[in-house]
Amino acid sequence: MQFKVLVADPIAAEGIAFLEKYLQVDVRTGIAPEELPGVIAPYDALVVRSETKVTAPVLESSEKLQVVARAGVGVDNIDVETATKRGVLVVNAPLGNTVAAAEHAMALMLGLARRVPQADASVRLGEWKRSRFMGIELNHKTLGIVGLGKVGLEVARRARSFGMRLVAYDPYISAAAAEAVGALLVSLDDLLREADVITVHVPLTSGNRNLIGKREIALTKPGTLLINVARGGIVDEAAVAEALETGHLGGAGFDVFTEEPIKDDNPLRGVPSTVLTPHLGASTREAQVKVALEVAEQVVDVLNGRPARGAVNAPALAPDVLAELGPFLELADRLGRLHTQLQQKPLGLLEVTYAGENISKDTRPLRRALIRGLLEPISTERVSVVNAELLAEQRGLQLTESKGIAPEGYTNSIRLSGPEGTIEGSVIGEELRIIGYDNYPVDFTPSGHFLFCPHVDQPGVIGSVATLLGQANINISAAMSGRLAPRGETMLVLTLDEPATDEVCERIKAEVKGLRSLMRAHL
């Protein structure tokens, strides 16, 4: 029997042609949302872009549906949770847009440097005022690249051909990887101070929201150009508008916005020296062909029992396996997230040790959950237990596994160790606990906003930290302190109802004597 696929949104003809070689294809675009549940029943696969919403009623209306393919990167229009519960694989095309996004960043950069949109508008008004549109050359300018993922690396390669000097900020990539594309790895503050042009290529996470705001813009050189083709919300749009009004920034190019479509009251609309485009990063003929072929190939693979390289979820585990491993899968994920957030270092060689009868039989699901936790806070792509291993390989993450003995007093544990330290957790009943951090004996629930305060144990440290948090109206919901010896090295772990801001952390570091450092995390 031939498999059937429904293409519900327009995709490139090349993708349709590929599907038609192997499957029965129905192209029916513009199906009303309320009609799709009644249409989907006979199909084994569904291909969409962003227009069609693949909701729970749609997914629950077919017993045959095996795969939903999104011809693009985002899957916000697909109910991934329901798809996973029903064993429907969701795949996307994370690679097809890379070059298009990088080239669009360069287009905005050139448009700002040579004031192309403004000059075009002037000529169309019948003017010929060349002196009003004096530009700058990119040659010998310093480009600051925030995020050296796939798009950031492609921008680096293109910028080098313009004769630009490259500096980059990415706490999760090695200096050697940056040097391979001719970039010098620096801190974010140093990048802001040195760059003539800044381009942003990081995912939008809670830690990256307003990554470049008023404080960061104040560090830049007068006349700096700022580009954002990554995600709206990474750059504070109001702060950029203010800096453009005062003339501190020389220009800003935005393809993405906090709210899309852009609102009438968006502050960037009314300021000079901007180039604003309606999320065109992937809007090239070539990119659309690439993503169409990428998802078409994966649909054919999945329906023929082969793995999909762009899977963003996985069918649910068998009920008996889920019942046994469920809490440990969550623990592994949270250990990975904590490690990445606390270490702020490139992910290289790590070792995981499993202890306990229930979690030492088949550790493959635990390994994938741990990798997902390690990569999710820093990846521009959605990380799932299906694509975790592939993404780990691409990032140079190596995970060795062993079986061991749980610490005294515990019946099970998962311990993650690397050059920068160790973190260990356990499941007690159904409750997740972190029971060790480096050499410190700790015991806390891995959920909420955290402040980690390594310090020398002495009177006043804990009280001073708590007082400063209280003055900032940040509530402490739980606190624990693990020390190696009386008046010795100690780890204070505070669980907070609200995140500690940069300003509060700087004040704590400046005013509390004996602190070794200050680290934040959120789970």
Residue numbers annotated as active site: 231, 260, 279
| Calpha distance 362→509 (Å, rounded) | 44
Query: What does each C-alpha distance from 191 to 172, 216, 217, 248 come to in angstroms?
Result: 16, 10, 11, 17
Cβ atoms within 10 Å, residue 405: 10
| Calpha distance 140→161 (Å, rounded) | 11
- Token code pair at residue 122: 């002037």
* 175 in Cβ contact with 185 (< 8 Å): yes
| Calpha distance 170→186 (Å, rounded) | 8
Strands of the sheet with 249-254, listed across from one edge: 183-185, 165-169, 142-146, 197-200, 224-228, 249-254, 274-276
| Calpha distance 5→297 (Å, rounded) | 13
Which of 194, 191, 140, 154 lies closest to 170 in space, CA to CA?
Answer: 191
Q: Work out whether the CA dihedral 346, 350, 356, 362 comes out positive or negative.
A: positive
DSSP 8-state assignment for residue 447? -
Cβ atoms within 10 Å, residue 269: 14
| Calpha distance 270→168 (Å, rounded) | 31
Query: What does each C-alpha distance from 338 to 262, 335, 425 come to in angstroms?
Result: 35, 5, 11
Q: How crowded is the C-beta side of 465, counted as CA atoms within 13 Å? A: 27
| H/E run at residue 338 | helix 319-343
| Calpha distance 440→456 (Å, rounded) | 13
| Calpha distance 266→237 (Å, rounded) | 8
| Calpha distance 202→155 (Å, rounded) | 13
Q: Work out whether the CA dihedral 369, 173, 382, 266 comes out positive or negative.
A: positive
